Amino acid sequence: MMRALTLAGALVLGLTLPTLTEAATANSFVNIRSGPGTSHPVIGVAFPGQFLRVRSCSGNWCRVRFGLTGLILHGWVSAQNITR
């Protein structure tokens, strides 16, 4: 009985926790930077409508994960340049 309650509790908890990423798309050609700010180097460019995964946001910058031709990169974009 205790095992069934533990499993049921884990299922409920798993359904109520927020997801770790949020879907977004680029509004236009968007620079992906190595850090949150224009002083950080550009490590990639997202194309208009390109799918991005938002990991977290801090101020006006969001940490994202995106893929280009099988390569997965992590970087930062200005929050005003994406639609969530």
Q: Look up the CATH number of the domain holding residue 32.
A: 2.30.30.40
- Tell me if 7 is assigned to some domain: no
What amino acid occupies position 34?
A: S
- Tell me if 45 is assigned to some domain: yes
Q: Which residues of 1-16 are buried (b: 16+ CB within 10 A; e: fewer)?
A: eeeeeeeeeeeeeeee
pLDDT in tens, 27-78: 999 999 999 999 999 999 999 999 999 999 999 999 999 886 778 889 999 9
Residue 21, class by beta-carbon neighbours within 10 Å (0-12 exposed, 13-18 middle, 19+ buried)? middle
Q: How would residue 3 be classed by pLDDT, with cut points 50, 70 and 90?
A: low
User: Total structural domains in the chain?
Assistant: 1
- Tell me if 32 is assigned to some domain: yes
Structural domain including 70 reads: 19-83
- Tell me if 6 is assigned to some domain: no
Q: Is the pTM of this model over 0.75?
A: no
Nearest to 66 by CA among 19, 29, 25: 25
- Tell me if 8 is assigned to some domain: no
